[in-house]
A and B are shown apart, each in its own frame.
Chain A
Amino acid sequence: MIRDALEIAKKDLLIEARSRVLLNQLLPFVAVVLILFGFAVGTQNSTLVDISPGVFWVIAFLSALLAIQRSFSIEAENQAKDGLLAYGLEPGGIFLGKVASIFFECIVVEVFLGLGVVFIYGMRLNSVALLIVSAGFATLGVASVGTLFGALAAATKVRETLLPLLVLPSTAPVLLAATKAWEDGITSRVGIGDPWLGLLVVFGLIYLAIGMVSFGSVLED
């Protein structure tokens, strides 16, 4: 299963490296939204610092949606999904591979976004360990749910509108916990013992487990 997952992740990241959608479209999108939030909220530094954890995670989630849609639009072309099944890859492996590639792409976006909120919004980083670990588990949660629903929505003709309706409410608790963990990470020196991080770990692992168990049924679709 791990071998299948590595193959899928390698394939997706190779396609990404060749098409450069992340570099040419996703990162500029993130920069635009970051600046638009500044225009909408006002340019007072204190306000921007206060809202920066929330803005960070809202933009990260919207970017994740685009990455998920992109990941499954690749499989929709020329019945590539059927090809994966014909190769005899394990559904759990395909799921893990998809999660890994989406996770990696989201982390790249989040690093870029993190630099944006630090330099443009003036966000301070007090507990770097908490910020990094919570970002990792929050991204794992979004990537897991997103992969599951992405595969579900990809089989429909209304995938663009259906995916956000399914993913965003499901991952809203992750958004809440990630924002709270980041608030703690920038305002105090709370370490990785932050209770919000615990919630993110639980979420990430539950969604990963559910995805692995049910992805076979989704691929039947």
Chain B
Amino acid sequence: MKSSKFWVGVLAVSALFGVAVTYWLGLFVTPPDVIQGQLVRLLYIHPSVAWVAYLAYGVTSVGSILYLWKRTRSLKWDRLAAASAEVGVVFTALTLITGSIWGRPTWHVWWTWDARLTTTALLFLLYLGYLALRKVPASRDKIAVRSAVAGLVAFIDVPIVHQSVVWWKTLHQSATVFNASLSPKVHGEMAWTMLVSFISFTLVYLWMTIKRYQIETDIDEFDNLEVEAAIAERLREVDGLVNSKASSGTRDGGLKDGGSIS
């Protein structure tokens, strides 16, 4: 327990350090872009947070499948799926916000009906629906089954988001890092900064997901304790009722006995 706490702490510090290094490299070390100028600095964050969103939804879908599969069915997979989806929604929101900030000076609009923007927004709504479904009151197992099915269907949208640029060929530029030929179009300091950014935000994701998982576990344990306490209370009430009936029965019996004696 202590060692896991220690490693989570190490992960948190590494993530924080990585983000700080990304900040330093992105703002002070790398040069402005020939075409985009200072705007390029936003791109050291935007693709990384988008990648983390994809990763998070991937983990949610794996957790959902493992929960649905009866051989591996365990609430730990549901907790993992839930934790990862919540972090994924945060990172999808960050993707949309950073993209919008970048799009305003580049495309002169805060929002455009580009395929990737639209499908990313849909992805955001899909997983908001997933989280809304999780909040619908039901037994713990029911919530897990419902969420697993919803998580699985929602994940079908993820490859569409990535492939949408290829399919629809609209305003958004094609993939710079994870393209079909697997040859990144970024070089030198810029490439290193992007790499550090990808690693750092992945560490942030891992830390947030682990913490969220722990909270989910605590909530489940708390709920179980509440149920146990409620059962114990009811049992005490029943015992009390039985005892009082028994004692009143003894009294009645005593009277009857007394009556018969008299």
Contact = CB atoms under 8 A, between A and B. Distances in A.
B53 interface: no
Contacts of B103: none
B146 interface: yes
Contact of B149 (A157, A169, A214): A214
B157 A170 contact: yes
A199 B146 contact: no
Contacts of B83: none
Interface string B109-134: 00000000001001001101100110
A182 interface: no
A149 B153 contact: yes
Instruction: Provide the main secondary structure of the chain A interface.
Output: helix
Interface in A152-201: 152, 155-158, 162, 165-166, 169-170, 172-173, 195, 199
A78 interface: no
Interface string A190-221: 00000100010000001100100010011011
Contacts of B128: 165
Nearest to B167: A199
Interface in B29-81: 68
B1 interface: no
Contacts of B156: 170, 206-207, 210
B132 A152 contact: no
B135 to A, nearest CB: 9
Interface of B: 68, 119, 122, 125-126, 128-129, 132-133, 136-138, 142, 145-146, 148-150, 152-154, 156-157, 160, 167
Interface of A: 145, 148-149, 152, 155-158, 162, 165-166, 169-170, 172-173, 195, 199, 206-207, 210, 214, 217-218, 220-221
